[in-house]
Amino acid sequence: MERNKQIQIGLLGLLAILLVANLFGGGFKNWFGKSEGAKMRESASSMVTAGRAADGTPITSAGNIPGTNVTTPQAPSGPSTTIQYDEEKFNFGTCDEGEVVKHLFKFKNTGNEPLVISNAKGSCGCTVPTWPKEPIPPGGYGEIKVEFNSKGKPGAQSKRVTVTANTTPTETFIEISGDVKGKEQPAVKGH
C-alpha cells in the first residue's frame, strides 16, 4: 500500500511539473520545433484572417479565440442596400408572467441590391429573433419573428433586437415592449 501511495504522489508531482512547464515555459516542443500553443494560435489566426471556420463556414463572430478581440457580428461584404420596417416598435400591452409573446416585424428591401441579414440579436436571452437566411431581392419583403419569454420578468419590459445586415447603416433596431403581470403571492393565513 505504501508503494502505491509513493507512485501516486510521484505521478501527481510529475503532472504538476509538466503543467507548470506548459503554462510558463511556452509549451512542449514537438519534432518540428513549434509548441502546440503556437500551432493553435496560428490556426485560430489563419481562420479569422480567412473569415472561415475549419469546416468552411463563414465566421461572423470569433467567439473565444484568444487575441482576436472580435466580438460583434460582421455585416456581409459587397454592395449595401436599405431596409424599411413596417413598424420598429411593438407594444404587446399586458401579459401574465411566464407567457411567451411573439411578434412578426415585417420589412422591405428598399434598396437596389439583395438584402442579406447576417445576424439578429436580442438585448437579453429572453428575447429570441428568427430572421430569413436567404437574400431578399430589391423591392422584396421579409419578416423577423421575435419571441419574448416573460418568465421571471415581472414589470415594465422593453427589449431591443439589433439586426446586422448589408444595409446603410449596418445595424438597425427593432423593439418589443409591454407590461408583465407578476404571479400573485398566496394570501397569508392568520393563526
What lies within 8 Å, CB to CB, of 108 at 6+ separation is 83, 84, 86, 139, 140, 141, 142
- pLDDT tens for the 191 residues of the chain, in order: 677 778 888 777 776 776 666 666 555 444 344 444 454 444 444 444 444 444 444 444 444 444 444 445 555 667 899 999 999 999 999 999 999 999 999 999 999 999 999 999 999 999 999 999 999 999 999 999 999 999 999 999 999 999 999 999 999 999 999 999 988 644 445 54
- Identify the pLDDT of residue 2: 79
CATH 2.60.40.10 fits 83-181, yes or no: yes
Q: What is the β-pairing status of strands 89-96 and 171-181?
A: parallel
pTM value?
0.58
DSSP 73-125: PPPPPS--B-EEES-SEEEEEEEETT-EEEEEEEEEE-SSS-B-EEEEEESST
- Identify the pLDDT of residue 43: 44
- Identify the pLDDT of residue 79: 85
- Provide the residue ranges of all domains of the chain, joining segments of one domain with +: 83-181
What lies within 8 Å, CB to CB, of 57 at 6+ separation is none
